Amino acid sequence: MKQDIYANTFAALRLFKSVIEEITKDYMVKFESMKTHRNIAFENRYRGDFEIELKFGGDILLFLMHTNVFEFSRDHEIMRTPYIKEDRSRSYCGIINIYNFLSDSFKYNRFNDIGYLIGRVFINKDNHYFIEGKRELGLLLNNFSKNELDREAAKNLMEAAITYTINFDLLTPPYESVKLVTVNEMKNTLDAISMKTGKRLGFHFQADSNNLKSE
């Protein structure tokens, strides 16, 4: 069973890869037709078998597949559904995590910068999927008993992740959190300075009120 789940999850990651390549190609065609001098990055790369990077504008989305299989906790809402009660083994899932980082964090090797988990995709032995996520991702139709991960579903998820990231703006950190700096930090270059940068640094990153569940 766990081998089947692993295979389904790995196939889902390959599907995401294909959809990302399609979206990137479509963007490049539209960008060229706009005849604009602005060079807005939209590209993808693969760091290994279990990681996909999608870069657009000043943001990066990382899709990371965990190589292990997990079960939902007993108090999770999924465990109370007829779909799971009918067959407990359906609650075992592979996970693909979706993280948002600033592209400059990687470009300038700012190792102390912060990334955020904006969503995670659970896939079980039946190739059914469930999404926990922020806003646009959390609003996607989540019927674990019926939703199978196909190309259309993968594209909807990808577009929701991009939309959320674009609308997730970089905020100025509170003055108190950045007012002190050490001599060592100041002697280093500005790109390497160890003051963390993140879209919500200094703010408590809570689940949105209309989400399913997100940590």
Tens digit of each residue's pLDDT (9 = 90 or more) over 21-37: 999 988 888 877 766 65
In this predicted structure, the answer to whether residue 162 has a pLDDT above a threshold of 50 is yes
Domain assignment of residue 180, yes or no: no
CA dihedral 88, 90, 94, 95 (to 10 degrees): -90
Domain assignment of residue 178, yes or no: no
In this predicted structure, the answer to whether residue 138 has a pLDDT above a threshold of 80 is no
**Domain encompassing residue 64:** 2-170
Cα 62 to Cα 45: distance, rounded to the nearest angstrom: 10
Mean pLDDT value of segment 111-122: 87
Domain assignment of residue 198, yes or no: no
Contact 169, 199 (CB under 8 A): yes
pTM: 0.79
Q: Residue 128 has what DSSP assignment?
A: B
Domain assignment of residue 189, yes or no: no
The 10s digit of each residue's pLDDT in 92-111 is 999 999 999 999 888 888 87
Closest by alpha carbon to 98, among 119, 114, 115, 116? 119
Number of domains in the chain: 1
Mean pLDDT value of segment 168-195: 63
pLDDT interval class at 214 (50, 70, 90) = very low
The 10s digit of each residue's pLDDT in 46-93 is 888 999 999 998 899 999 999 999 999 899 889 999 999 999 999 999
Domain assignment of residue 190, yes or no: no
Chain centroid to CA 173: 23
| Cβ neighbours, 10 Å, residue 83 | 17
Domain assignment of residue 195, yes or no: no
DSSP SS3 for 97: strand
pLDDT higher at 131 or 181: 131
Cα 92 to Cα 130: distance, rounded to the nearest angstrom: 12
What is the per-residue pLDDT for 215? 34
Domain assignment of residue 203, yes or no: no
| Cβ neighbours, 10 Å, residue 97 | 14
